[in-house]
Amino acid sequence: MRLLPHTDADRAAMLAAIGVREIDDLFADVPEAARLKELPDLPRHASEIELERAMQRMADKNVAASSVPFFVGCGAYNHHVPATVDHLIQRSEFMTAYTPYQPEVAQGTLQYLFEFQTQVAMLTGMDVANASMYDGSTAASEAVLMAQRVTKRPKAVISTGLHPHYRAVIETFGHFSEHESVAVEDDEIAEALDDKTACVIVQTPDVFGRVHDLRKLADKVHEAGALLIVAVTEVLSLGALTPPGEMGADIVVAEGQSIGNGLNFGGPYLGLFATRQKYVRQMPGRLAGETTDEDGKRGFVLTLATREQHIRRDRATSNICTNSGLCALAFTIHLTLMGESGLRDLALANHRTAVALADDLAQVSGVKVLTDQFFNEFTIQVPGDGAQVIDKLADKGVLGGVPAARLWPDRPDLADRIIVAATETTTPEDRAAYVAALKEVLA
């Protein structure tokens, strides 16, 4: 990379041109407490072996999901990824240079993206899906922006059952796009609808694990002239539950990590985005389409790429600059290996395990299972502080779930709640270990 030095006069001219006094003014949106006042005091000139050992010591402080009984979910789930998936995504056929969507060099890439889109559309019960987004939360934000473009209205009504991190991302996007959002309880959504409402966004199963039938809500939202956005943080649930598209959703967004992708310390993940055919030209990101060449041979092309890399910035529907291509490939391969029946079998296995776990925990004195209809995640109430219970369980080698206080630190009424997840990786021995540890902690 070339070095392009600037003089003090050059910098002063640039700052004056953009209307700020000093460089620190460019970071005014970063909280003061998060800014470094000086360079960090890092050790220098370590050898490779010294660096490896230092990094290993840091890594050893983590507790891997596979090393202990693990019941943490809330948007990221510990599922088994067959070794076949990792092997196939590393095949040379999928290795490509940057800009892998160039059709003259990457028909294979375009074909798997086309198949990925088909899988997502079928899973969600929608007409069309794009070629993936960064993750579920940013996909949800893009859905709100899309609903505002479609309806020409500014307001988003957000269910309190939506994961609070998703809501935070939506509000961050809204800060710069000047749309407004209000969060309401599910039974208050109808009253919140008005002629400014662009969309209602709900989650099922919601952040507490509750499964919702959205048909009546969809009718009310459509009567108000708004769009219904459904978020799914556990995409495996669509192997057993009614797809949102069949319940009247206009846009479906989801986190695809559960299929083909590991926990990866929180990323990279995979955003799924699907909608109705009539809204396809307002959909963010890009699509891979099927066509034929002049000889009638089947081929694949990038189409409807309404993002700023392909059209003028002021006409772009999104400024997303790439997709989660490798994660989408892993998703497509894993889902192809399972097939429709395999996906359903896996989903049902998850549900059976979660039901067994809920039954086990309900037998612990003082514990109450609060979620009556769930897929593989549910909420329990414990006597005392849920976060302290989780810490004590961790000391006994059990990662017992996510305390609600971690997601809602300003909600003391939720301080005794813990959100617990079970998957096909949860064994009877894991359940027994959880029950035994919880009894000791609550004794």
- Residue 362 to residue 354: CA distance in whole angstroms: 12
Backbone dihedral region for residue 178 (phi beyond 0: left; psi -120 to 50: alpha; all else: beta): left
pLDDT, mean of residues 57-81 = 94
Residue 26 pLDDT more than 60?
A: yes
pLDDT on residue 181: 92
pLDDT on residue 316: 73
pLDDT on residue 319: 73
Residue 2 pLDDT more than 70?
A: no
pLDDT on residue 364: 97
Does the bond joining 412 to the residue before it have cis omega, within 30 degrees of 0? Answer: no
Q: Are 74 and 407 in contact, with CB atoms under 8 Å apart?
A: yes
Q: Are 420 and 406 in contact, with CB atoms under 8 Å apart?
A: no
pLDDT, mean of residues 67-80 = 97
- Mean pLDDT lowest for which of 105-114, 225-234, 306-315, 320-329? 306-315
Candidates 154, 141, 119, 328; CA nearest to 251 is 141
pLDDT on residue 189: 96
pLDDT, mean of residues 394-403 = 97
- Listed in sequence order, the DSSP H helices in 284-427 are 325-362, 386-395, 404-407
Buried b (16+ CB within 10 A) or exposed e, 3-41: eeeeeeeeeeeeeeeeeeeeeeeeeeeeeeeeeeeeeee
- Residue 274 to residue 120: CA distance in whole angstroms: 7
Average pLDDT over the chain reads 92
- Residue 422 to residue 426: CA distance in whole angstroms: 6
Give 100's pLDDT tier (boundaries 50, 70, 90): low
Please report which helix (H) or strand (E) contains residue 218, including its range: helix 215-223
Top-confidence residue, 17 or 104:
17
For residue 413 the two structure tokens come to 């009424």
Residue 306 pLDDT more than 80?
A: no
pLDDT, mean of residues 95-118 = 75
Q: Are 163 and 202 in contact, with CB atoms under 8 Å apart?
A: no
Residue 130 pLDDT more than 80?
A: yes
Buried b (16+ CB within 10 A) or exposed e, 307-341: bbeeeeeeebbbebebbbbbbbbbbbbbbbebeee
pLDDT on residue 102: 57
- Residue 422 to residue 71: CA distance in whole angstroms: 6
pLDDT on residue 107: 82
Domains of the chain: 83-334 (3.40.640.10), 340-442 (3.90.1150.10)
pLDDT on residue 334: 98
Top-confidence residue, 143 or 8:
143
- Residue 177 to residue 154: CA distance in whole angstroms: 10
pLDDT on residue 94: 79
pLDDT, mean of residues 367-374 = 97
Q: Are 308 and 122 in contact, with CB atoms under 8 Å apart?
A: no
**pLDDT tens sequence across 430-440:** 999 999 999 99
**pLDDT tens sequence across 237-289:** 999 999 999 999 999 999 999 999 999 988 899 999 999 999 999 999 888 99
Q: Are 442 and 385 in contact, with CB atoms under 8 Å apart?
A: no
pLDDT on residue 324: 87
Give 68's pLDDT tier (boundaries 50, 70, 90): very high
Query: In the chain, pLDDT over 90 holds for what percent of residues?
Result: 77
pLDDT on residue 98: 57
